[in-house]
Chain A
């Protein structure tokens, strides 16, 4: 008998909550901090401090002008968006003078933070490389020597720019230009940290690379920038996780992630987002898939106050594939406005979008999606499936699907479902001795199983545990 990879959560054995497990904070000690608020002076300081080439310095200043001139989006949760106090945010905090290659060199409080989050342990067990970002900078980075020897590059983005400026300049902001949206412009102006990955042709990175993003300071803005290039026929899986302490004031996380999968390459990008409930998570993620390349976004949104994020794949080469698999959990006071975008711009391309959302205790989950098939993208296949589960009557779900099909001979499947946890299902499970809470949790975990089964086992267990915490309503 083959056992499923994912064990069901051992129910009711954990009384932990976000506050003790993730929401703790260190004293705010830092090497250097920009003043509050944003202007050209802050941008100049960041660029000078990083000793960047002139093109990047100019790129930042131009991006700031775009940010300042662009109005706030008039869609999504405009009430929450307009409540962001940009002047109260720190846009750059450098926690340490230098990045460390050894955990023993990382100051005790920061090291303890990452230990509590299980990063060094995961690194030893099943990762090929780890990047740990704290506030604006990657404070710890490691990468297995044998992978370096295969020509694989895995660095924080700043080091990437310094050491491989030719590759960076060639691809940086080509997938997401600064002017794409207000928050990509903001990121372009003040970006710091994130990952730079290049995988040479034909190289298969068999075990995942991971980055962990931690915000510690109050009123912090984190703006990491990630660029992954998988050269022809190569394969890579990148995983990111994120958490922050609980504050009464708001924090902002606004990342830009660009993926480039060249001919025949494969990139999977997995996110487990578990920000605290006082944080705005406004992220732009986009990939380009060339001929016969595959890009998969596996995107889990558990935390944050408001998330607006729509991972996108541009299928620009014939035979390219894109898949976006996402789960959003919206609890009390949360709005998860998540979704997917796929642009078919070449023949014989295929895409699959699977979106699962759970709303509980007044939380709101929205699916917002765009599938566009250009005129030349004949024989393309599109599949979109949105499933929403409502735990109670106070919660809310909406779907905003858009399809623009300009090509002939395109196969399209679209399904959207809203379901409630049925009394009959609860009775069936409780009649076998499970409590009502256990039964409800089992139904919810079953609902997101198509997502969890795609995660490495350790992350699947962690996700189930997070969902359990959310279902218990113990998250502050």
Chain B
């Protein structure tokens, strides 16, 4: 029987990009109310894993299983994964000229409203409240999606989408990259506001910095397509002080033994 608190579960997931294996068997369980962080150096496969889980067509999951709230994620296309409660905050959000933030979000909210008219009726109110939370000007609503946005604006827009779409499992891919400290605080505020005992968050990051503001329950270190270490928040601090090289050496040593 499915454990209803288990929001996300993957076993031995392998990912290929352009015929090259970049994720080589990772497993993870995330329960309701938990925040996990995957940390790793550049090229460790963490962003590939995030994109593959969201259904990016260029990333194929070649073996393994992944479930969201007990449902088989790998049988779904990107649309279905989103509607099942998965969300990916993009590392590099795309510009869609001519499509306003408000129109796009209204369509995305409507797509999951299951005909509940009140969701659409409350849309303006909800989006305004979220603008306030993220310290975004109301004029954001009529701007075109990511067109001419600064790095900080793009990341705020990703978090705005998370707040509007209320996912069960949110994967945040390097949401902290390129942010100054003020923007990082605002974005973190949004993430913390969104987090509840009913959903879960998976932060994918290179740096420990964001974890000062969004405190994870678990940290997993990813290197060369594998989780090489898992632990509590203290693991992140250890990484910060010692760097990835130390863990890399330890891992290499372990493999030799």
Contacts and interface: CB of A to CB of B under 8 A. Distances in A.
Interface string A441-476: 011011111100000000000000000000000000
Interface stretch (A52-60, A161-169, A371-379, A420-428): A420-428
A1 interface: yes
Given A3-B102, A8-B106, A446-B98, A436 B124 contact: no
Contacts, number: 101
A442 B102 CA distance: 13
Interface in B81-100: 81-83, 87-88, 90, 93-94, 96-100
A2 B103 CA distance: 12
Interface string B190-233: 00000000000000000000000000000000000000000000
Contacts of B234: none
A299 interface: no
Contacts of A445: 98-99
A434 B77 CA distance: 11
B141 A438 contact: no
A172 to B, nearest CB: 40
A430 B87 CA distance: 11
A447 B142 CA distance: 15
Interface stretch (B15-23, B40-48, B50-58): B50-58
A430 B98 contact: no
A11 B103 CA distance: 12
B103 A436 contact: no
Interface in B123-148: 124, 127-128, 131, 138-139, 141-142, 144-145
A428 B90 contact: yes
Contacts of A447: 97-98
A423 B56 CA distance: 9
A431 B78 contact: yes
Contacts of A203: none
A432 B55 contact: no
Contacts of A425: 94, 96
B55 A431 contact: yes
B49 interface: no
Contact of B108 (A434, A449, A450): A434
B107 A11 contact: yes
B222 to A, nearest CB: 22
Interface residues of A, number: 30
B138 A427 contact: no
A431 B82 contact: yes
Contacts of B90: 428
B161 A432 contact: yes
B111 interface: yes
Nearest to A423: B57
Nearest to B144: A446
Interface string B64-92: 00000000000001110111000110100
Nearest to B90: A428
A435 interface: yes
B103 A433 contact: no
Interface string A1-27: 111100110010000000000000000
B96 A433 contact: no
B142 A2 contact: yes
Contact of A443 (B93, B96, B100, B142): B96
A422 B97 CA distance: 12
Contact of B103 (A8, A423, A435): A8
A449 B78 contact: no
Nearest to B94: A428
B102 A428 contact: no
B144 A433 contact: no
User: Counting chain A CB atoms within 10 Å of each CB, which of B88, B98, B145 scores highest?
Assistant: B98
A432 B82 contact: yes
Contacts of B142: 1-4
A442 B96 contact: yes
B137 to A, nearest CB: 10
Nearest to A439: B79
User: Counting chain A CB atoms within 10 Å of each CB, which of B55, B83, B111 scores highest?
Assistant: B111
B246 interface: no
A430 B79 contact: yes
Contact of A433 (B56, B82, B138): B82
A449 B103 CA distance: 12
Interface in A390-440: 422-425, 427-436, 438
Nearest to A447: B98
B112 A446 contact: no
Nearest to B54: A431
A1 B138 contact: yes
User: Counting chain A CB atoms within 10 Å of each CB, which of B100, B103, B165 scores highest?
Assistant: B103
29 contacts: A1-B131, A1-B141, A3-B141, A4-B103, A8-B107, A424-B94, A427-B55, A428-B94, A429-B104, A430-B78, A431-B78, A431-B82, A431-B88, A432-B82, A432-B161, A433-B83, A434-B79, A434-B108, A435-B79, A436-B79, A438-B107, A442-B96, A442-B103, A443-B96, A443-B99, A446-B96, A446-B98, A447-B98, A450-B98
Interface of B: 54-58, 77-79, 81-83, 87-88, 90, 93-94, 96-100, 102-104, 106-108, 111-112, 124, 127-128, 131, 138-139, 141-142, 144-145, 161, 165
What are the 4 A-B residue pairs with the smallest beta carbon separation, nearest first?
A: A446-B98, A449-B98, A446-B99, A433-B111
Given A428-B94, A446-B144, A446-B145, 12 more contacts: A1-B102, A2-B141, A2-B142, A3-B141, A3-B142, A425-B94, A431-B78, A433-B111, A434-B108, A442-B99, A442-B104, A446-B99
